[in-house]
Amino acid sequence: MSEHTLKLIQEDPWLKPYSNAIEGRHSFVVEKEKEITQNGIQSLSGFSSGYLYFGLHRQKNGWVFREWAPNATAIYLVGTFNGWEKNENYRLKKIENGNWELLLPEESIHHQDLYKLLVEWTGGCGERIPVWCRRAVQDGQTKIFSAQVWNPPKPYTCKNRNFKPRTSPLLIYECHIGMASQDEKTGTYDEFRKNILPRIAEDGYNAIQIMAIQEHPYYASFGYHVSSFFAASSRFGTPDELKHLIDEAHGMGIAVIMDIVHSHAVKNEAEGLGCFDGSGFQYFHAGRRREHPTWDSLCFDYGKNEVVHFLLSNCKFWLEEYRFDGFRFDGVTSMLYYSHGLGEDFTNYGDYYNGHQDGDAIAYLTLANKLIHEVNPNAITIAEEVSGMPGLASKIENGGYGFDYRMAMNIPDFWIKTLKENKDEDWLPSAIWWETMNRRKDEKTVSYAESHDQALVGDKTIIFWLMDAEMYWHMQVDDRNFRIERGMALHKMIRLITATTMNGGYLNFMGNEFGHPEWIDFPREGNGWSYKYARRQWNLVDDPNLKYHFLGDFDREMLRLTGSVKDFQATDIQKIWDSDSDQILAYKREDLIFVFNFNPARSYTGYGFLVPGGKYRVALNTDDKRFGGNGLNDDTVEHFTQPDTLYESEGKEWLKLYLPARSAIVLRKIIN
């Protein structure tokens, strides 16, 4: 190939010195696809249909069960149907390529029966949960997991089959089913569907990103230590209840994105894949690469076609079986680099092409994106990736990896660092502008001020950095408190600038839109197995006597504002003015002008900006009394620009405004 073959290189001259590496990765993906599809004899989607073959399936005249376990010497199906005893009638037969099979009559197994595999290998044996099982449940007393037959007589029937996500812009509500309950307990799929989905729809979000769906033994892992990749977590309810939730979300116009974990797996052997057939490296690397150095988990070997088959089938399964609309891939940085991104700075392009990258993992991610969009052309894929790998969210045919979006992970880091280290008078608009706009032009990002990461115990949410313990005593509407008022003002400003500088999507974690107090701490031995901090206190935002509803109301209006401009996320962003000494920033998108005064003490009268001439009306004001502000401006007043002969040829005139300290205002040009 020439260095001008791929569009990724053509559009970024800084990548030309690394054209060989980029083209080599692209060629490797092409060859890998040819290999696994036998030069196109079958489609990528056809290759990725393992879930239709492996696992337990009801057939016309009974049941069939299949498993891949190349190191096993014998396998038995044990369960409630045979007293959990080793029985020759339930012994699997070894067929080809390390696969095992068992055929059973219809009366042998029933809906909701519990089962496992007794796997034997040279020198040992153990009970295992089948790799491809679609449901695993935990015994309330022993806490032991078992697979469960799920074959209801009247399975859930989808009603909204032609749903298509709205992505202009993509507005994501990141959520966790278990902690969505008001009560101190584990919430359910049904409760979320009935109680939380209507809130999300009313607030204006058009997508939910659900965490912790894949079954995981330890609740407090937040779903990131997966054991059963094809099983929806039973602690929240049944598969049918999850399908009902997704279907109802589609009926409300809400896309459902799954937080999928293909970057690693739980080490557990009884529940997970850690030593399924006795080998320890059936799905994972052998040797030092087997264990993740900081996550206490196991690392997939993406160089094995069987592993690629397993993971690609997993993607297709969730799309087809549950009708998820796409995935947010967790831990992509860990997949891309042999170092898992640990201890590397990524300060120049050479750091992405120095041979420290895992070509097999890159190929898997690229093929996963191709498969997902082959199965559902409207699917959404998002990469959680911190190193800034070029091309991650570029099209595959252009030399990229095929994600639709990448997370703008620099933005929340910037806000937390600012809140921790800088005095208010040291907030620099130029730095804020740089961080919110620091992205590749050819890749869409999901901007966010904070996600679940910033809410975990040991850290603080933005609202807690701003207010801390004052929140417990001064959130009544009639209570005037400086720290609370400062926190309310900056909370709105931080979100407004983060959301309105996006170039793809915007994300908020459940409850943070109204400044949910405290942290997230799941039940564990260290807190007495308490659910106090593993829930959401919706009563706070619902109470008109508390200030939380001001923040919730502002969030709703902010999202409506982004929806009022066609393809808001794709419109040009033009900086109008910034002054670090004044702490003023202004920018323009279409007919909207955004003006921020980060100065904590100084208000400005008649502060002028050069904008397209005409009449402007206030579209949103963080200082509006409706949002807990002081209402220092009369937002019913229309603003007229003043001509200046010096700028007449540019079509610009002076817009002069009163800018209260620590506030932001959005104006819309009125077309007569």
Catalytic residue among 113, 330, 404, 450: 330
Q: What is the DSSP string of 325-343?
A: -EEEETTHHHHHBTTTTTT
Tell me, yes or no, if 183 is annotated catalytic. Answer: no
Cis, peptide link before residue 523, omega less than 30° from 0: no
Q: Do 266 and 217 form a contact (C-beta atoms < 8 A)?
A: yes
Contact (CB, 8 A) for 362 and 399: no
Q: Is 486 helix (H, G, I), strand (E, B) or coil?
A: helix
129's tokens: 């949960």
**384 catalytic, yes or no?**
yes
β-pairing, 584-589 with 145-148? unpaired
Q: How is residue 83 written in tokens? A: 């007293």
Which residues on adjacent β-strands are paired with residue 58? Answer: 63
Q: Which residues are within 8 A (CB) of 148 and not within 5 positions of it... i.e. 6 or more apart?
A: 112, 113, 114, 115, 133, 135, 136, 137, 234
- DSSP SS3 for 645: helix
Q: Does residue 612 contact residue 651 with C-beta atoms inside 8 Å?
A: yes
**Inter-residue long-range contacts of 355-358, CB under 8 Å, 24+ positions, other chains counted:** 358/302
8 A C-beta contact, residue 329 and residue 260: yes
Structural tokens at position 335: 């997949």
> Nearest-CA neighbor of 367 among 329, 288, 312?
312
Question: Distances from the Cα of 583 to the Cαs of 79, 88, 596, in angstroms?
Answer: 68, 78, 8
CA-wise closest residue to 134 among 194, 23, 50, 245: 50
Minimal CA–CA distance to 617: which of 595, 591, 636, 644?
A: 636
- Residue whose tokens read 């549950």: 322
Beta pairing, strands 93-94 & 505-509: unpaired
Question: Quick check: 177 and 192 in contact, CB under 8 A?
Answer: yes
Of the candidates 488, 459, 534, which has an alpha carbon nearest to the alpha carbon of residue 628? Answer: 488
Task: Take residue 163 and report the two structure tokens written for it.
Answer: 């749903």
Task: Output the 3-class SS for 41-73.
Answer: CCCHHHHCCHHHCCEEEEECCEEEEEEECCCEE
Cα separation, 91 vs 78, in Å, equals 9
DSSP string, 426-444: G--HHHHHHHHH-S-TTS-
Residue 465 vs residues 415, 462, 649: alpha-carbon distances, Å: 10, 5, 47
For residue 508, the cross-strand partners are 173
Rounded to whole angstroms, the Cα distance separating 70 from 51 reads 18
Q: Which of 248, 358, 384, 521 is catalytic?
A: 384
Would you state the structure tokens that stand for residue 672, as one six-digit string? 């007569």
Q: Which two tokens stand for residue 201?
A: 């729809």
d(CA 21, CA 518): 46
- Which residues have a catalytic role annotated? 330, 384
